[in-house]
Structure 1
């Protein structure tokens, strides 16, 4: 550790690169909350995607918005062409803000901040939520001081000596859910079943189209069922609303819901993609679900995520290519009517819930910055030590003005 870090006596400034998808952003926000409460200073590095702006607009932490592209097929030349500009943006910002460390939550949005931190000799941490590490995380693992993973299988594929199994952070709002309150906030009847449908920020289109086909069967099978349908940033919003109206099903159809805890707190069951962040929120809320992995996820990590839960009898599993209206309705009927099955799923979901994940990650990073090492695999996260003289903050940091970095 550098001499400057050894002499540090005030709170630490940590940049959290968590843009690109809700699966990166929401765990990053949970960690930011823990750091802030221990009197440290988190800043969020986000992409300019609408999902990032929408999901973070109520957060009062300082934010930096960077243009970003993923490493998808067909965009790789553009990624390579624009990456130097993104890197220079990060470097300028880091010279101005001077963070003590960078935490990368995965995805290619985190590469430019990480490379800038490497050049400035700042400690680098990362978190991988999925069962199979993505390409960006596999590279990060080679240069990071310490890594954190949500699943044991991911740890084995990285650098085990410098990786801690923590689980995936979930915001604390998911820990104190009152169904009657959640239903009231959403204008739904708590005496009737509620189905949540969400495809995440990337994979909603296939679910949207199949559910529109299944609505007549849903009304016939469960005429009292209400639906919360988060359709993503697609062009399906008006079509879906019309389809629910024609099927005489009470439905709340939205592109996105920032307060996802209300949706999961109200829902009696869910149909969803199997991104690791949603799985962690689902486990925290104890919501029985049918998981339909996004078929184009990198390295089929969503399929492995879903299979991991299905093999543990903590969720139902269905391939998208096998998704028909009839099979969807059969799964919904089972999740709704088979009470012993629902209770068993809820019991098994507890295995995948890590209520102290954000605190453990925060504690490990602060300990590393204070002492130059990590606490070990089984360290307790009952308290998060702040530097000498710091007191837990009782309110959010006063926001600095958001910055949009452009070429």
Structure 2
């Protein structure tokens, strides 16, 4: 039997968006360094992110997200999840992994639930400052819980007893960007502003940010350089707006090198998803954060509050996120570069560059693996 055949197997369950898959990818890389073989269990939506995932095999498992509380929707979702659990149960029987690790979201439920039924050690990782619905469902049944934020389960002693604060694993590109010190802007030099709305983009950023930049005092606006992510349908309008007001801007639907662009920025304007907050903290950059409203779990609100409380960000709820308000906030920061530097330093104190290694150690512990195996 060859060395590769002797390597333990860990199945990572993640899907839906890059917010779940990026930390899963970081864990996969950390486990691979320890000589562990990785398989990914995901859903159809995740294949756009998962094609480069560092896994031996990628298994697409049926799943569904609870989007409505009416009886028909609940029954349809339950039937789809049951189908996925059956598929995952058979898959895990064939694979015989040492552990299954879930990263939240409904695509996590079938593989992790099947692992619980097979008595395979399980870990779930919660990226947000509040636990999401899928993880809440799984939490009482899994072997261990890892959290990105401290005290997420402080109100539930039964769950807190099996929780470990690891931080949110970040990709290698983020760890590399974190090595770049924050360069406090010179009042006579450029002010680099990065605007994005998460992996899917955000309509409100296209509606608000260009108009806010236009409203800046001329003495500030002449120094602004913008990099903005925009949805495909908004690209032309956003580009035209910046061209009309004479502000240099790079606008695209997706930036594959986003961590490097965060590092190059003096200020980031964005949503406050778990991966965004983790990357801002790891790299140490000030943010104006606009939580996604109306979310059932209000996870982005909790994430933004965490960074704001530490002094690393300003939270603007969507109801007050207007061109006028954003222009006021940017202008105030532009004329106080020492405040921007202080916010960057405060954000950096919350970063967890070693989160992937800490989570990998937890997986080794619950799987009963010892030492650091090397290929």
- Secondary structure at 1:313 match in 2: coil
Q: CA deviation at 1:32?
A: 0.6
C-alpha distance 348-178 of structure 1, shift in aligned 2 (>3 A): closer
State the TM-score, normalizing by the size of structure 2: 0.87
Whether 1:35 aligns to 2:34 is: no
Query: Greater RCO between the two (CA within 8 Å, min separation 6)?
Result: 1
Deviates further, 281-290 or 65-74 = 65-74
Of 7, 11, 14, 1:15 maps to: 11
**8 Å contact kept, 1:288–1:335:** no
Deviation at 1:218, TM superposition (A): 4.8
Which residue of 2 is the match for residue 163 of structure 1? Answer: 163
Change (3 A) 1:179 1:337: farther
Q: 1:334 to 1:219 in 2, by over 3 A?
A: closer
Specify every segment of 5 or more residues in structure 1 that has no aligned partner in the other structure, as ranges.
Answer: 1-8, 181-190, 372-383, 394-407
Please report how far the alpha carbon of residue 320 of structure 1 lies from its aligned counterpart in structure 2 after TM superposition: 0.5
- 1:39-54 matches, cutoff 5 A: 39-49=35-45, 52-54=46-48
After TM superposition, the structure 1 = structure 2 runs for residues 52-91 of structure 1, keeping only pairs within 5 Å, are: 52-61=46-55, 62-73=57-68, 76-91=74-89
1:322 shift after superposition: 0.5
**Other-structure match for 1:129:** 127
- Over aligned residues, Cα RMSD in angstroms? 2.4
Q: Does the CA-based 8 Å contact 1:219-1:249 persist in structure 2?
A: no
Q: 1:96 to 1:211 in 2, by over 3 A?
A: same
TM-score by length of 1: 0.80
Cα distance in 1, alignment partners of residues 54 and 310 from structure 2: 38
Structure 2: gaps spanning 5 or more residues: 181-188
CA distance in 1, matches of 2:242, 2:177: 27
CA distance in 2 between counterparts of 1:58 and 1:68 reads 21
The CA deviation string for residues 36-93 of structure 1, in whole angstroms up to 9 with x for no partner, is 01110122222222xx333333334232234543222375444223222222332343
Matched, 1:385 2:371: yes
Structure-2 residue corresponding to 1:226:
225
After superposition, the Cα gap between the structure-2 partners of 1:252 and 1:54, relative to the gap in structure 1 and judged at 3 Å, is farther
State the shift of 1:16 in Å. Answer: 1.0
Which among 227, 233, 250 is matched to residue 248 of structure 2? 250
How many residue pairs get aligned? The number is 356
